[in-house]
Chain A
């Protein structure tokens, strides 16, 4: 009970912290909208040349673009979540303070990241999505249950996204400088999540491989549920499996790190 309230407070803090920078949020909304516009036109040209590509019709492809812009910051697909701060704390040794607090390191940062993600979703994601829905033909479900099912995939996507980025952050215990790992994580995030191009458009074996990797839980899986392209329960099982596996791996790495690694600093 007490622990639950503590993590809720951490999450609320994460939300408020990002909500403070209003100008930056407006700037982000603008930039996401412009990128959405550019992508929408290129996708429409692609679907014009090849209707029903990947099983989507043009309206579904347009919806996919705006969903991607709504998720980009929230799920930190191109970086920008709490992992950078955690890495910096590991590099400077400040993580020692986090470790002797009577709270769990992983849950603390998960709560902070969920708070951040919720703000980014509401503050940065909704406006570009609504803009897209108003000015372009989109394909959205009318059944409220479909939206509820979609929200479930978003929550799981947040957990998977954090699971990946927590592992990335913990690599700093061994590597110290995380620049290279962060860069690799961003490239993998963009390419494998479907941010670059929907994964069902990828050709042949490449398409099949990227669809079973954890990153497909971030954008492709929620999009397929929203567009009525995938069964919600099967999607939950897929995302849930990755979330549990990644969070468990994060837990193991955290144990190894705190037992064997000497913390930096003095």
Chain B
């Protein structure tokens, strides 16, 4: 299903790239240049560049408003197809892996909202391989703004709000249907989970992009972890084999995106006999993942050799 949504998104804006690319360059170099290379303000610099480039892409998207509405709706529908599959499953069964529909919907909503936000923010990073191959990454290197911010905001696609909206709707529905004894702590855990989950998926996107400095044509591998990851997390851990669960807990810590906090809220047993307090670790895990991904990015960028054109 990864391929479905990703390819659909790429073909959308071919016509825009020419014009928008030019205007973006002008706006960026003009303003980011003023910020200067003040030491310690790299993060602010990056955020500022990101905001400028993303804003430019939003303006260019809004030039074709009808197209924007349609592609956002398309994004909403293609993202919802997974949930339709779950609904079809539940037309034949009452529980999957021991979980009834509202509980699966909670997992699904948290997973899709977190992934949708990450995809919206930096989902275009899987285009990096293409930029390395055709040499257009060189243009980004000579601009006075952090390369990571430029690559992350490249072709910022506001239509990806479709997935965020779809995930949030399912999450909202799940929250009204669940039979849970809500405490302030559990309520607070929900937004914290979505934000940390977004951070973990962002780290996966950045690490995947860093990997593409070496494996230029292999951008599809990333889909296995991003789109594959969010699909995996839509189902409870009881469904999957122990080795797979171990892998997504200790090697690629996707379990912290939604499984552990959701299982805490539902009062269900954790996979692999993890202690109860691990439900509150996702923000920490997200920070560590982002730091590791950032380090991988720097190594990747340093090893970059231009194709020479």
Binding site for B on A (CB under 8 A): 21-24, 26-28, 30-31, 34-35, 37-38, 41-42, 44-46, 49-50, 53, 72, 78-80, 84, 177-180, 182-184, 186-187, 190-191, 196-197, 201-203
Contact = CB atoms under 8 A, between A and B. Distances in A.
B125 to A, nearest CB: 16
Nearest to B4: A78
A41 B244 contact: yes
B12 A179 contact: yes
Contact of B224 (A23, A35, A84): A35
14 contacts: A41-B239, A42-B239, A46-B92, A49-B93, A78-B7, A79-B4, A180-B71, A183-B74, A187-B4, A187-B78, A191-B81, A196-B81, A197-B89, A201-B89
Interface string B218-261: 11110111001001100100111100100000000000000000
Measured as residues with beta carbon below 8 angstroms from the partner, the interface class of chain B is: 35 or more
A60 to B, nearest CB: 16
Interface of B: 1-4, 7-8, 11-12, 15, 67, 70-71, 74, 77-78, 81-82, 84-85, 88-89, 91-97, 215-221, 223-225, 228, 231-232, 235, 238-241, 244
A161 to B, nearest CB: 15
A84 B232 CA distance: 30
Provide the main secondary structure of the chain A interface. Answer: helix
B78 A203 contact: no
Contacts, number: 127
A196 B2 CA distance: 12
Contacts of B7: 78-80, 186
A4 to B, nearest CB: 33
A218 B125 CA distance: 33
Nearest to A23: B217
Contacts of B225: 34
B215 A37 contact: no
Contact of B96 (A22, A35, A42): A42
Contacts of A184: 74
B94 A49 contact: yes
Contact of B81 (A46, A84, A187): A187
B111 to A, nearest CB: 12
B239 A23 contact: no
A46 B74 contact: no
B235 A78 contact: no
Given A27-B220, A50-B92, A53-B92, A45 B228 contact: no
B244 to A, nearest CB: 7
Contacts of B91: 203
Contacts of A26: 218
A182 B11 contact: yes
Contacts of B92: 46, 50, 53, 201, 203
Contacts of A45: 96-97, 235, 238-239
Given A84-B11, A182-B8, A186-B7, A27 B218 contact: yes
Given A46-B93, A180-B74, A35 B1 contact: yes
Given A35-B2, A46-B96, 20 more contacts: A24-B218, A26-B218, A27-B219, A30-B220, A31-B220, A34-B225, A41-B235, A45-B96, A46-B93, A49-B94, A78-B7, A79-B7, A177-B15, A177-B67, A179-B8, A190-B4, A190-B81, A196-B81, A196-B84, A197-B85
A46 B220 contact: no
A201 B86 CA distance: 12
The 9 closest A-B pairs by CB, nearest first: A23-B217, A34-B224, A27-B218, A27-B220, A49-B93, A45-B239, A24-B217, A31-B224, A203-B91
Nearest to B13: A179
Best-surrounded residue of A72, A179, A184 (most CB of chain B within 10 A): A179
B236 to A, nearest CB: 9
A35 B71 CA distance: 25
Nearest to A28: B220
A182 B228 CA distance: 22
A186 B3 CA distance: 10
Nearest to A185: B8
Contacts of B218: 23-24, 26-27
A196 B215 contact: no
Contacts of B8: 79, 179, 182-183, 186
Given A27-B221, A180-B70, A34 B78 contact: no
B93 A50 contact: yes
Contact of B2 (A24, A31, A53): A31
A46 B97 CA distance: 8
Contacts of A21: 217
Nearest to A31: B224
A31 B221 contact: yes
Contacts of A80: 3, 7
A24 B220 contact: yes
A195 B231 CA distance: 14
Contact of A49 (B96, B217, B220): B96
A57 to B, nearest CB: 15
Contacts of B238: 45
